[in-house]
Amino acid sequence: MLGYIVRRVLATIPVMGVVALFVFSLLYLAPGDPAAVIAGDQASPEQIALIRASLGLDRPFLVRFGEWAWRIAHGDLGTSIFTNLPVAHMIAQRIEPTLSLMLLTLVVSLLIAVPLGVLAAARQGSTVDRVVMLLAVLGFSTPVFVIGYLLAYVFALRLDWFPVQGYVPLAGGFWPFLRALILPAATLGGIYIALIARITRASMLEVLSQDYIRTARAKGLGQRAVLFVHALKNAAVPIVTVVGLGVALLIGGAVVTESVFAIPGLGRLTVDAILRRDYPVIQGVVLLFSFAYVVINLLVDLLYTLFDPRIRY
Amino acid sequence: MQRRDLLKAAAGAGILAAPRLAGAAGARVLRFVPQANFANLDPVWGTQYVVRNASLLVWDTLYGLDSGLVPRPQMCEGHERSDDGLRWDFRLRAGLRFHDGEPVRARDVVASLNRWMARDAMGQVLKARLDALEAVDDSRFRFRLRAPFPRLLLALAKPMPNLAAIMPERVAATDPFKQIGEYIGSGPMVFRRDEWVPGSRVVFARFDGYVPRPEPSDWLAGGKRMLFDRIEWQIIPDPGTAAAALQNGEIDWWETPIPDLVPLLRQSPGVRVDIADPLGNVGLLRFNHLYPPFNDVRARQAVAMVMNQADEMHAVVGSDDALWRPMPSVFTPGTPLYTEAGGEILKGPRDYAAAKARLAAAGYNGEKVVMLVATDLAITKGQSDVTADILTRLGMNVDYVATDWGTVGARRAKQDPPAKGGWNIFHTWLAGLDCALPATNIALRTNGPKAWFGWPNSENIQGLITRWYDAPDAGAEHDVAAALNRTALDVLPYVPTGFFLGYQAWRADLTGIVKAPFPVFWGVGRG
């Protein structure tokens, strides 16, 4: 197992290298010019060229990529073209809100979606099953910003339970922190709950038709023990897979959610950087997200062995 | 239901919510939502209006423009000009200090103005006439000119980017094409770099060492008295969220509410709405003068002959007719130089038959007309949709390139042929303040390769702009303005598409909000 983990961690190095090359090339080929954005409407072409030169954007692709890759290899993500701040500092400023939002969403989604999926599978074809599936379809097909506006309408403006927007760091107190995150997490969780609930239901249905479930029931085990001890553990592999893959959904949804609720997270940082063509920031954030995704998939692979002892690496 | 309807509903819900008063802890804090994201703070390097607006808090200027567009002494006590206009002597007022505690000296002024002149259009005209700019002693500095420059005070006072902001000599020594690293000014507020979260929050704290002028405040002139200890800028990118936050008392002042939400804000208890900037904005259609068909003045005139400013402006501001005005002029309505001389081409019924004949005479034969459209900006998108329609009705083959503003910003700088990555036309807008004067209207310059994107070339227009620089009095200025308007609307470096206004909204407990081309924070208080 340890050898496998080491091999997987080492394998992330070439993966990150390919991601780095891809991100850099994509931005190099993408239309837009930060020098033109910086120079603004007043600038002449000569002034734009001067700014481009001062930023080093007029040098050949390979030279720029080589310098950037060398810095990355030394842990330096560079400096934002616009704010003149280190990219690592900007990411550090933004990582807490995004991590908090995603973790809260993940926990709440699992706590809601897995029992719903199990319940729907246990009562397949019943009204409960249909309601759960209807909610799942709604959650999956309703855009994140619509859910966000509706929740803000009811719980912030009508009932005044939560703030409309903003973020309170954990250092500002647990309840203010949680209060500011509940609506965004509920917004972001809609699609995630739907996805996990559907997969849980499908996976549970398959497991519940197995012989060992019948045997467990024949032994006289209660419904709860059958569902949550025997069936759910065996149905967990596809659920864990979807939870891992769904992190990409969370990252995408966080961009919209952070905009709707004015949360200063990495999603908004990415959008702002893309709109301004702030290349070092885009590259840094995309690399970070890619790394996080690789790590999460590694964790998912390791979790398989926990749920299914037959899996060995 | 469309997104916009939902957004209105969400914002409208605030009407039903009980109004809340700001907490006691926030009584000395002003929470402000600016017009755009705030990414840097260099009044010379950064040209965005939002950067200018923040810079006005942190840095002071030697002179300040008042609401009559007259330059008044701000950091300066005053000046003396020699009879031949070739020597200007200035004296700084006593007690000026930078945020690091150091006194403001004349050598700081010299270094700051040298950096500014390298970037600013008016500064470059000044530099071309400059023999020497020197510090006489700690409090006095002198311009020695090769040729008179009657607009010197205006150049030092104008709030249009780039700003002639005064910073410490060591900071002003920064390459004008690179960002400064220290944000130290002598303005009424200190930039709190340690609390800055780019794209989310910008904090300014009151500078206790600031000594305001004794005169009443009038835009950038007079005493800048700060009544709040802190001003917190909160970047809220979603207008629906900003509206709801204002209604809920989570913010105090929103610089640019979108017109769609204004009716709802008006009905909301505890919220006030009014016009933000009396000088508004000017929409424009810019031609690329390097390539057919618009390298021929007749093609440009054909478009102007069918341009309907009412349609263009309705696409920008919606059905609120109080928000726009026609302007057969290159000057901003309501400003001293406004004239409609020569504006007939933009007035009266639109004559498509005559325009088609003019276009045919220009030799247009169905070639693609590449139109760059920034669809992420409602103002450019609205104008572009209307113009694409009139060009099509005119018989032009429009290639509508829908993209984002970042891409338009880069592509419009390309001088390649339209078929090879260049362009023919694009829409944008300028602040009305910028279009109040020939010197600050960048779209009016027609100095060929050195002109703004589109690179028009007209010695007549350039000559008239130079004449305005040298105009000895208001009468001469008006004569030049009339001639300039006639020539500009004949040569058509661009077509003005109309004048439009925007709103601002604030909590009712705020006092002292004024109408200006920039948010005026001094004099704003609570209760």
Domain ranges within chain B, ordered by starting residue? 3-36+188-277+504-526, 58-167, 281-500
Within 8 A of B182 by CB-CB distance, chain A residues are none
Taking the CA atoms of B162, B165, B170 and B173 in sequence, report the sign of the dihedral they define: positive
pLDDT at B19 over 50: no
% of chain A exceeding 90 in pLDDT: 36
Give CA separation, A41 vs A47, B175, B304, B410, B470, in Å: 11, 20, 23, 11, 25
How far A262 CA lies from chain B's nearest CA (Å)? 5
Interface of B with A in 124-163 (CB under 8 A): 161-162
Taking the CA atoms of B38, B39, B43 and B44 in sequence, report the sign of the dihedral they define: negative
* B378-393 and B309-317 helices, crossing angle to 10°: 150
* pLDDT number for residue A41: 64
Within 8 A of B238 by CB-CB distance, chain A residues are 259-260, 262
Closest chain A residue to B377 measured between Cα atoms? A275
Q: How far apart are CA B207 and CA B99, in angstroms?
A: 7
% of chain A exceeding 70 in pLDDT: 97
How far A153 CA lies from chain B's nearest CA (Å)? 5
* pLDDT number for residue B10: 46
Contact call for B241 and A85, based on CB within 8 A? no
Query: B420 — contact with chain A (CB < 8 Å)?
Result: no
Within 8 A of B411 by CB-CB distance, chain A residues are 31
Instruction: Tell me which residue of A112, A107, A122, A134 sits closest to A201, measured CA to CA.
Output: A122
Within 8 A of A40 by CB-CB distance, chain B residues are 46-48, 161
pLDDT at B4 over 60: no
Instruction: Tell me the pLDDT tens digit for each residue of B298-344.
Output: 999 999 999 999 999 999 998 889 999 999 999 999 999 999 999 99
Instruction: Tell me the pLDDT tens digit for each residue of A119-147.
Output: 999 999 999 999 999 999 998 889 988 99
- Straight-line distance from the first to the last Cα atom of chain B, in angstroms, rounded to the nearest whole number: 40
3-class SS at B212?
A: coil
By Cβ distance, the residue of A31, A54, A272 closest to B199 is A272
Instruction: Tell me which residue of A104, A147, A100 sits closest to A260, measured CA to CA.
Output: A147
How far A310 CA lies from chain B's nearest CA (Å)? 49
Interface of A with B in 1-30 (CB under 8 A): none
How far A297 CA lies from chain B's nearest CA (Å)? 31
pLDDT range class, residue A62, cuts 50, 70, 90: confident
Contact call for B39 and A44, based on CB within 8 A? no
Q: How far apart are CA B294 and CA B418, in angstroms?
A: 11
How far B457 CA lies from chain A's nearest CA (Å)? 14
Average pLDDT, chain A: 87
Q: How far apart are CA A111 and CA A127, in angstroms?
A: 21
Within 8 A of B177 by CB-CB distance, chain A residues are 47, 50-51, 54
How far A83 CA lies from chain B's nearest CA (Å)? 5
* pLDDT number for residue B81: 96
* pLDDT number for residue B495: 98
Query: B238 — contact with chain A (CB < 8 Å)?
Result: yes
Instruction: Tell me the pLDDT tens digit for each residue of B216-260.
Output: 999 999 999 999 999 999 999 889 999 999 999 999 999 999 888
Q: Which CATH number fits domain B58-167: 2.30.30.100, 3.90.76.10, 3.40.640.10, 3.40.50.460?
A: 3.90.76.10
Query: A84 — contact with chain B (CB < 8 Å)?
Result: yes
pLDDT at B85 over 50: yes
Contact call for A40 and B450, based on CB within 8 A? no
How far A194 CA lies from chain B's nearest CA (Å)? 22
Q: Which of A5-14, A227-236, B1-10, B338-347 has the lowest mean pLDDT?
A: B1-10
Q: How far apart are CA B369 and CA B284, in angstroms?
A: 17
B348 has which bridge partners?
none
Instruction: Tell me which residue of A243, A236, A241, A242 sits closest to A206, measured CA to CA.
Output: A236
Contact call for A166 and B121, based on CB within 8 A? no
How far A244 CA lies from chain B's nearest CA (Å)? 29
What is the pTM (predicted TM-score) of this model? 0.83
* pLDDT number for residue B70: 95
The CATH number assigned to the domain with range B3-36+188-277+504-526 reads: 3.40.190.10
Domain B281-500, CATH homologous superfamily name and number = Dipeptide-binding Protein; Domain 3 (3.10.105.10)
pLDDT at B6 over 60: no
Q: Taking the CB of residue A249, how many other CB atoms lie within 10 A of it?
A: 15
pLDDT at A313 over 70: no
By Cβ distance, the residue of B200, B244, B403 closest to A264 is B200
Contact call for A54 and B181, based on CB within 8 A? no
Beta carbons within 8 Å of B144's beta carbon, 6+ residues apart:
B86, B87, B130, B131, B132, B133, B134
Q: Return the top range by mean pLDDT from A79-93, B398-412, B473-487.
A: B473-487
* pLDDT number for residue B16: 36
Instruction: Tell me the pLDDT tens digit for each residue of B138-168.
Output: 999 999 999 999 999 999 999 988 899 999 9
Query: B177 — contact with chain A (CB < 8 Å)?
Result: yes
Query: B70 — contact with chain A (CB < 8 Å)?
Result: no
* pLDDT number for residue A43: 66
Query: A150 — contact with chain B (CB < 8 Å)?
Result: yes
Instruction: Tell me the pLDDT tens digit for each residue of B21-49.
Output: 333 344 499 999 998 877 778 999 877 88
Instruction: Tell me the pLDDT tens digit for each residue of B260-305.
Output: 899 999 999 999 999 999 999 999 999 999 999 999 999 999 999 9
Interface of A with B in 86-105 (CB under 8 A): 90, 93-94
Give the torsion through C-alpha atoms of A63, A65, A67, A68, to 10 deg.
160
Give CA separation, A121 vs A129, A138, A232, B228, B302, in Å: 7, 18, 11, 60, 70
Contact call for A157 and B14, based on CB within 8 A? yes
pLDDT at A165 over 50: yes
Q: How far apart are CA A90 and CA A69, in angstroms?
A: 19
The H-or-E segment that residue B324 falls in is: strand B324-325
* pLDDT number for residue B288: 97
